[in-house]
Amino acid sequence: MRVFMTGASGFLGRRITPRLREQGHSITALLLPQETPDAAAADRFVHGDITRPESLAGAMSDHDAVVHLAGAVGYGQSFERCRSLNRDGTQNVAREAVRAGARRFVHMSSVSVYGRVANVRLAEDAPLRRIGDPYGDTKADAEEIVRARACAGELDLTILRPTVIWGPGDALFLPKLVENLRSGKARIVGSGRNSVDAVHVDDVADLVARVLASPASIGRTYNVNHPHNPTWSEFVALVAQAIGVEPPAGRLPIPVALLAAASMELAAAVTGRPPRLTRYAVRVIGRQYRYAVDRAREELGFTPQVALSPATITEVTRRV
């Protein structure tokens, strides 16, 4: 299958591309105008920008499938940027895929579309919920855009909703925790008894390969999370041990953490330096979420293989 991939040079794209090539697929990587071909290990490269639809014209011709990964992630993303990349960029990619006849479309979304509803089992048919979060809200917009194309019979769509993706090349999740632990100012947010919601990048790559190989995945949405992650207290202690520092002794109740994060965000707006803690992070790490992952296991035989263990954490933190 000839696959066109956006976001091929990113953390996730760099792991998905070799996995798909192992499966016999030919990959065309969309690179930004300033990127060089060594940014992604693909078979073919084209330059363009998902926010500039004219730059995509003709790029997907003669392709069978599109894997859409590109988007805005990380702290400090404004609504304007998230709308431009996550919503409008997805609209541009989907429109060009339809024009080019690249019907098979794999869209990388996020569990953020559920709106951070704690202590409720969230299966894939749970409603999308907008809570004023630039990332989650515009990811929900993007899902509605591609689903409308699929309902119109224009795309053979699969949507993936991973939790936090970690592994070699991660610049956001483990590096931020390592930075906070090394500062000596880290605290456990909430009780620490809630489980971490995370999945290894290689497991996500494996699922993308399974989806492309399975016609049964067309029209389906899949949550992606490791089913046996440690608690946050256990996880933070493992990371602290891996980098040779003491684990945090103190805890921050969630209301206090939200106030502290708001203050840090305000200071960051003045100084231009990223805050150590954000309200988004407090919502992610301080509460228990329950994402159902049965569907991918039952329909695709998919079970994540890489756990947050002492060995895998040590391997990644060595590079931070």
pLDDT in tens, 7-26: 999 999 999 999 999 999 99
Within-domain flag for 140: yes
Which token pair is 212?
């492309």
Predicted confidence band of residue 75 (pLDDT cuts 50, 70, 90): low
- The more confidently predicted of residues 74 and 215 is 215
Give the mean model confidence (pLDDT) for residues 116-129: 96
- Contacts of 145 by beta carbon, 8 Å cutoff, 6+ apart: 87, 90, 91, 94
**Does some domain include residue 8?**
yes
Confidence of residue 272 (pLDDT cuts 50, 70, 90): confident
Burial category of 184 from C-beta neighbours within 10 Å (exposed 0-12, middle 13-18, buried 19 and up): exposed
pLDDT at 91 over 70: yes
Q: Report the pLDDT value the prediction gives residue 263, as an integer from 0 to 100.
A: 93
Q: Which of 148, 122, 72 is nearest to 222 (CA)?
A: 122
Q: Give the whole-number percent of the chain exceeding pLDDT 70.
A: 99
Q: What is the pLDDT of residue 76?
A: 66
Q: Residue 238 falls within a domain, yes or no?
A: no
pLDDT band at residue 160 under the 50/70/90 scheme = very high
In the predicted structure, residue 98 carries a pLDDT above the cut 90 = yes
Residue pair 71/11 in contact (Cβ under 8 Å)? The answer is no
Q: Indicate whether 182 belongs to any domain.
A: no
| Structure tokens belonging to residue 109 | 């979304």
Please tell me the predicted confidence (pLDDT) of residue 270: 87
Name the pLDDT band for 72 (thresholds 50, 70, 90): very high
Q: Does 93 reside within a domain?
A: yes
Token pair 């990349």 is found at 85
Kindly report the number of other CB atoms within 10 A of residue 226's CB atom: 22
pLDDT surpasses 70 at 231: yes
- The pLDDT assigned to 37 comes to 84
Domain extent at residue 152: 2-169+197-224+289-304
Who has greater pLDDT, 115 or 40?
115
Q: Residue 229: left (phi > 0), alpha (psi -120 to 50), or beta?
A: beta
Among 39-48, 137-146, 150-159, whose mean pLDDT is lowest?
A: 39-48
For residue 255, pLDDT beyond 90:
yes
Residue 309 lies in a domain: no
Q: Is 86 helix (H, G, I), strand (E, B) or coil?
A: helix
Task: Indicate whether 229 belongs to any domain.
Answer: no
Of the pLDDT bands very low, low, confident and very high (cuts 50, 70, 90), residue 274 is: confident
Orientation of helix 232-243 relative to helix 173-183, angle to 10°? 70
CATH code for position 29: 3.40.50.720
Mean per-residue pLDDT, 123-137: 95
Question: What's the chain's average pLDDT?
Answer: 94
281 or 297: which leads in pLDDT: 297
Q: Across residues 193-216, what is the average pLDDT?
A: 97
The answer to whether residue 250 is domain-embedded is no
Domain count, the chain: 1
Q: Which is higher by pLDDT, 104 or 320?
A: 104
Those residues whose C-beta lies under 8 Å from the C-beta of residue 87, and which sit 6 or more positions away, are 138, 141, 142, 145
Q: What is the mean pLDDT of residues 93-99?
A: 98
> Which is it for the CA torsion 94, 98, 102, 103, positive or negative?
positive
pLDDT at site 200: 97
Residue 307 CA to residue 320 CA, distance in Å, equals 19
Please list, in sequence order, all residues whose beta carbon lies within 8 angstroms of the beta carbon of residue 36, skipping any fewer than 6 positions away. Answer: none
Average pLDDT, integer, range 120-149: 96
pTM (2 decimals)? 0.95
How far is CA 318 from each of CA 7, 168, 208, 242, 313, rounded to the nearest angstrom?
Answer: 25, 10, 27, 8, 9
How much of the chain, in percent, has pLDDT values that exceed 90? 82
